[in-house]
Amino acid sequence: MTLCVLTQPIDPIGCDLLRAAGVEVALAPDTALTSLAPLLARADAVITRNWGFGAAAMALAPRLRVIGSHGTGVDRIDLVAASARGIRVVNTPGANAPDVAELALGLMLAAARLLPQADRALRAGDDGWRLRVQGLALGGRCLGLWGWGQVARALAPMALGLGMDVVVCSAHADASELTAAGVTRVTDVATFLARVDILSLHGLPGPRPVLGAAELAALRPGALVINTARGALIDEAALADALQSGRLGGAALDVTVTEPLPPDHPFRACPRLVLTPHIGSNTDRGMTSTARAVARAVLDALGGDAP
């Protein structure tokens, strides 16, 4: 029987679709290669989430034909090793976009209104906290979307609904689509960065971070940085320095270069930084839609029928 190994749990609806098509499903106990080895030895397909799938894992899977990414990103999958083996890599672009966009909005509000700090102050009995600080109103501010993918498309109307101006920096976005969406295109990066009060990163990383020390310095003093896309989009040392210096108003990140975040990572000591553990799609809707999409993509790659 065809075997699909899950390196991390997915919603049962995805498992049900695979089983209905005659595929055996096995959830790995953890992502240690010693634990994965017995399952990968007979795996025809793998579905992975943010753990990815490297060359060492592929070497343990002689029968492997397809790797499914539970989400849009495939940067944690060794695409070179997969291509060399003729292993198909499939993903689920857009399946969880509304849910990631909602989290991006929530992170904006948390960073702008200092919600984690307010919670800590109240629990600590610091009744004077509210008299010493003030948050940032989002209405009337400029949100910059660096990239115009599915998540950015879903986030833009949410921000417009709050009375924000929305500008997009993208070399590929269709101008007529941006106009119809009520957002403004800015093609020059320096002009874009100087204009925005809140910067939200979207898209996939390249060979170097798009947001480094120079780009952070180009932002307005007090600006906020939001990242629900990929940790590699940001030079993390540069962001930590900008937060420690007080030049940035704050940041909120759902993704980091290394996940989970190492105990000694400088982000753990940064002020005005909200961190969440890669939960962009972790809603009832997001998990079911993504599990369904990745199961269907894997079945299609295997040549099976998706109910």
pLDDT digits (tens, 9 = 90+) for 117-166: 999 999 999 999 999 999 999 999 999 999 999 999 999 999 999 999 99
Average pLDDT over residues 265-288: 96
Domain 97-275, classified CATH 3.40.50.720, yes or no:
yes
Identical fold between 3-95+284-302 and 97-275? yes
Confidence band for 304, pLDDT divided at 50, 70 and 90: low
Find the largest Cα–Cα distance for the chain.
65
Spatial contact of 280 and 228, defined as CB atoms under 8 Å apart: yes
- Smallest CA-to-CA distance from 242 within 256, 223, 261 is with 223
Question: What's 3-95+284-302's CATH class?
Answer: alpha beta
Q: Whole-angstrom Cα distance, residue 70 to residue 58?
A: 17
Which pLDDT band holds residue 206 (cuts at 50, 70, 90)?
confident
Instruction: Specify which residues 227 forms β-bridges with.
Output: 201, 253
Q: Is the pLDDT of residue 307 over 50?
A: no
Residue located via tokens 């002009």: 191
Active site residues: 230, 259, 278
CB 150 within 8 Å of CB 202: no
* pLDDT 10s digits, 2-38: 999 999 999 999 999 999 999 999 999 999 999 999 9
Domain chopping of the chain, boundaries? 3-95+284-302, 97-275
The pLDDT tens digits of the residues spanning 174-200 come to 999 999 999 999 999 999 999 999 999
pLDDT at residue 257 greater than cutoff 60? yes
Q: How far apart are the first and last CA of the chain?
A: 18
Contact by Cβ (8 Å): 97, 151: yes
How far is the C-alpha of 11 from the C-alpha of 291, rounded, in Å?
Answer: 6
